[in-house]
Amino acid sequence: MDTSRLTRVSEIEWRIAPRGAMRVPGVLYASEALLRDMDEKVVEQVCNVASLPGIVQASYAMPDAHWGYGFPIGGVAAFDPAEGGVVSAGGVGFDISCGVRSLHTGLTREDVEPLKRELADDLYAFIPAGLGSTGAVRLDARQMDAMLAGGARWAVEQGWGRHEDLERIEEHGRMRGARPDQVSEQAKKRQRAEMGTLGSGNHYAEVQEVVEVYDQQTAAAFGLRPGDILVSIHCGSRGLGHQIGTDFLKRMTVEAPRHGLSLPDRELACAPIDSELGQSYLGAMRAGINCALANREVLTHLTRLAFAQRFPRADLRLLYDVSHNTCKVEEHEVEGRRRQLFVHRKGATRAYGPGHPELPTALRDAGQPVLVGGTMGTSSYVLVGTTEGERRSFSSACHGAGRAMSRHQATRQWQGRDVVERLARDGVVVRSPSLRGIAEEAPGAYKDVSAVVDASESAGLARKVARLRPLVCVKG
């Protein structure tokens, strides 16, 4: 990326002054090295988002930002309905509520290492993975609507999870305001056999070891110690979320002129928050969030069953579950007053600081865990939200490494079998139904996750707590 169009505010913050149709500045958080490696399209998309009606404060990009549909992936923007604010399907993305949950196991590296390959086989047997994967859960029309309204709470009531899990999930496992009636029959049809499945792309179930602790006090509050084994699950709302995005982007594009919306990019299709279409999308999108929360809860149940095969004394307790493709109503202080805003996070993680009332009692003093996924063979991180982050990014932080090249480019550079063999030499056992999918997700196809995390910390968006390294990865 050419940085000459940007004003450098600090080592980590870069600013784009309003120009043309921009209503607010653009702000990018990244080191100079990360910024130079970003594609030029990121700046264009940050500026385009800054031109949308009712946007507040700034259009933001996180350190892992890269080109996306409409909004950059790693984009954050908040809108005020009182000022004609809009809701954008492209600002949420197609994999609604894609996110990460991490589970304690009560095990250590010494427990797992001798049975690592057997554990990988068990997880692969219990967790359906891959493009178009289907699971054992089949939903009829009544059950589908109950799931879309109930989220993880519905899954627990069906016996696929524990009640104590709900305290450690965003929205306590159920997004209020969901409207299953606004979800198309095609979207529901796509999800009917996909509950409890990972899907494909960058989704995974990964067994990880805590190898480094940076903040002893916060790590203790999160229950993390060096040598501990965690399991992290990364997935979202599967075909249902994708179909919701597809359906509403079409409707928003068609109806934009009726709402007086002149868009710099048709991929930014949106609707006024207070319009019938805006409310319809919000209801469907919230149902998509519940689908993702339910899906991760069912996957957690399957993960517990897999661990029980080899480790009957393992106790898989939920550390936290947080999404990174959402639009949520939140209260934030802007220009000295508290306002109810619709915060879009696309490839960005909510990162509430200590004392926030939305956090579980057990975590409130420490702050919200921010779970940042790695790339099969690289580290993942547990961060914690900061009070400063509210002012700097509406309490948002990075969500992962972020792609450095397209999937097509990756398959031209790597062979899946070679990636598996190299990771095995590094002590990482990989299981996947697709060697092509592994090539697409090769670690080298992503940015340096440690650099992304360091930039997030330097910017004050979140603070490092612990580093995890993978031992087993079931890849979608």
Show which residues are catalytic: 399
Euclidean distance between CA atoms 87 and 249, whole angstroms: 11
Strand runs labelled E in 18-164: 26-29, 55-66, 73-79, 86-88, 99-108
Q: Which residues lie below 8 Å from residue 5, measured CB to CB, with a gap of 6+?
A: 16, 43
Cα 453 from chain centroid (whole Å): 15
- Joined tokens for residue 165: 């899990």
Check: CB of residue 308 under 8 Å from CB of residue 279: no
CB atoms within 10 A of CB 2: 9
Euclidean distance between CA atoms 68 and 326, whole angstroms: 15
Pick from 347, 342, 355, 357: which is nearest to 384 by CA? 355
Pick from 170, 137, 73: which is nearest to 403 by CA? 73
Check: CB of residue 341 under 8 Å from CB of residue 189: no
Q: By three-state DSSP, how is residue 155 classified?
A: helix
Cα 60 from chain centroid (whole Å): 16
CB atoms within 10 A of CB 358: 15
Euclidean distance between CA atoms 285 and 222, whole angstroms: 30
Instruction: Classify residue 355 as exposed, middle or buried by CB count within 10 Å of its CB (0-12, 13-18, 19+).
Output: exposed
Render 353-422 in DSSP notation, one character per residue. Answer: -TT-TTS-HHHHTT--EEEEB--SSS-EEEEEE-SHHHHHHSSEE--B--BSS-HHHHHHH--HHHHHHH
Check: CB of residue 16 under 8 Å from CB of residue 49: no
Q: Which residues lie below 8 Å from residue 36, measured CB to CB, with a gap of 6+?
A: 1, 3
Euclidean distance between CA atoms 81 and 334, whole angstroms: 14
